[in-house]
């Protein structure tokens, strides 16, 4: 069977859905692999390396000849429309926001797997691309902050005096947040963090951060804030307001603020108002990793650095965009492995045959046989019509 690896089309996207290493893995499963020429160029994987691993390099993938299409970013509706019925596609699909693409996949009869839907169970960890890419973006967020911060992160005791360590505050302690905590800590900063999920306190501590307990409703933490799959749930507006009020002094005390709060399929929660940013010291840096989904920080613009005037200077507000794609070699390495592992789960004897009795296969499937299998997306699509 023919597996195609796409050269990504979206501007700024440097990742690729396969690497020479995963081509070897797929070949060992008995699959043929065609890689669009230069598909890996942006990530540092040359055509020659793919060819050496046994892939054929093609100028353009021929949709009619593909059994499986591997991709990073959601397929455009016109690409989805060109696929043969029964083609298996694996990649990100952004089912909550890319409804025209979902509809096109369903209409074309594609059996599409959305990596966002991979369940957060231990057996599926090796296929969890949201986690693997968050690992990259959490690390990256700290580098981007450190580069813009006009001071050191670590403590220095020098002959010309002592430089205190930077105080870094991380909001949202999912994979990206924990990684940001760990990286800032490595660099020598003093790190504190908050997450509305009470369970994250231990994880924050294990990465070297100090957990900030907010008394949101007279209890120290609210187990109901944890939604399915370990992700956070949305707070009611009253509690969200109280959350911001309680966070304000911590934000004001921070030199560097990194926000990573996301709710799957929803706009990012507003955690930090412009007023809160205005309370920070001049020279402070705010990096909003949720900028692409609306932002945790009021007024943030994805892909832009804004200077927010404060007493005596300004605060730099960074709307981080394509954070994982900015470290394309390792991001692709992990992503490609996630994709190959999911594909391996549905491949036997050189044939790709999704078994919907497997809970990982069943949960990850977005469209199949002409319909949308993922209930929430099907509902959204109904409403969208």
Known catalytic residues are 120, 125, 128, 131, 231
Tell me how far CA of residue 28 lies from CA of 31, 95, 113, 184, 228, in angstroms. 7, 31, 22, 40, 35
Site size toward a second copy (CB under 8 A) is: 49
Buried b (16+ CB within 10 A) or exposed e, 248-263: eebbbebbbbbbbbbb
Residues 188-217 that bind a second copy (CB under 8 A): 188
Pick 214 or 363: Cβ nearer a second copy = 363
Task: Mark residues 130-169: x for contact with a second copy by CB under 8 A, - for none.
Answer: -xx--xx--x---xx-xx-xxxx-x-x-xxxx-x------
Residues 270-289 that bind a second copy (CB under 8 A): 282-283
Q: Which stretch binds a second copy (CB under 8 A): 81-89, 96-104, 227-235, 327-335?
A: 327-335
Pick 18 or 127: Cβ nearer a second copy = 127
Kindly tell me the burial class for residue 76, based on how many C-beta atoms sit within 10 Å of its own C-beta (0-12, 13-18, 19 or more). middle
In whole angstroms, the minimum distance from the beta carbon of 178 to a second copy comes to: 12
Number of neighbouring beta carbons within 10 Å of residue 223: 9
Interface pick for a second copy out of 67, 222, 330, 358 (rule CB under 8 A): 330
The angle formed by the CA atoms of residues 183, 188 and 193, to the nearest 5 degrees, is: 60
Pick 225 or 340: Cβ nearer a second copy = 340
Pick 161 or 223: Cβ nearer a second copy = 161
Cβ proximity of 271 and 291 under 8 Å: no
Tell me how far CA of residue 355 lies from CA of 22, 36, 363, in angstroms. 22, 28, 11
Of the candidates 106, 109, 102, 97, which has an alpha carbon nearest to the alpha carbon of residue 75?
A: 102
Kindly tell me the burial class for residue 102, based on how many C-beta atoms sit within 10 Å of its own C-beta (0-12, 13-18, 19 or more). buried
Interface pick for a second copy out of 2, 94, 97, 126 (rule CB under 8 A): 126
Binding site for a second copy (CB under 8 A): 14, 41, 43-44, 46, 48-49, 125-128, 131-132, 135-136, 139, 143-144, 146-147, 149-152, 154, 156, 158-161, 163, 183, 186-188, 282-283, 311-313, 327-330, 333-334, 337-338, 341
């Amino acid at each position: 069977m023919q597996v195609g690896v796409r050269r990504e089309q979206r501007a700024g996207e440097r990742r690729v859905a396969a690497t020479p290493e995963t081509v070897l893995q797929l070949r060992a499963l008995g699959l043929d692999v065609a890689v669009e020429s230069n598909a890996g160029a942006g990530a540092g994987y040359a055509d020659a390396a793919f060819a050496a691993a046994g892939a054929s390099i093609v100028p353009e993938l021929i949709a009619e000849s593909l059994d499986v299409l591997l991709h990073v970013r959601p397929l455009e509706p016109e690409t989805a429309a060109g696929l043969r019925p029964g083609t298996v596609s694996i990649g990100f699909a952004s089912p909550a926001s890319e409804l025209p693409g979902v509809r096109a996949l369903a209409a074309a009869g594609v059996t599409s797997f959305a990596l966002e839907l991979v369940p957060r169970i231990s057996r599926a960890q090796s296929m969890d691309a949201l986690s693997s890419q968050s690992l990259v973006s959490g690390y990256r967020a700290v580098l981007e902050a450190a580069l813009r911060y006009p001071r050191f992160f670590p403590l220095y005791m020098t002959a010309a005096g002592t430089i205190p360590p930077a105080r870094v505050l991380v909001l949202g302690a999912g994979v990206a947040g924990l990684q940001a905590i760990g990286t800032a800590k490595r660099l020598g900063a003093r790190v504190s963090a908050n997450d509305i999920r009470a369970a994250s306190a231990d994880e924050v501590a294990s990465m070297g951060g100090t957990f900030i307990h907010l008394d949101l409703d007279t209890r120290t933490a609210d187990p109901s804030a944890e939604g399915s799959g370990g992700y956070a749930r949305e707070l009611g507006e009253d509690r969200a307001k109280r959350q911001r009020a309680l966070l304000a002094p911590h934000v004001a005390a921070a030199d560097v603020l990194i926000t990573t709060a996301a709710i799957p399929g929803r706009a990012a929660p507003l955690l930090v108002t412009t007023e809160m940013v205005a309370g920070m010291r001049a020279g402070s840096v705010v990096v909003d990793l949720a900028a692409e989904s609306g932002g945790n920080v009021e007024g943030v613009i994805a892909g832009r650095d804004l200077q927010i005037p404060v007493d005596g200077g300004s605060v730099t507000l960074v709307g981080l965009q394509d954070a994982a794609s900015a470290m394309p070699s390792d991001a692709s390495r992990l992503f490609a492995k996630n994709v190959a592992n999911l594909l391996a789960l549905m491949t036997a004897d050189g044939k790709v045959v999704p078994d919907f009795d497997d809970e990982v296969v069943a949960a990850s499937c977005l469209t199949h046989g002409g319909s949308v299998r993922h209930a929430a997306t099907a509902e959204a699509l109904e409403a969208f019509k």
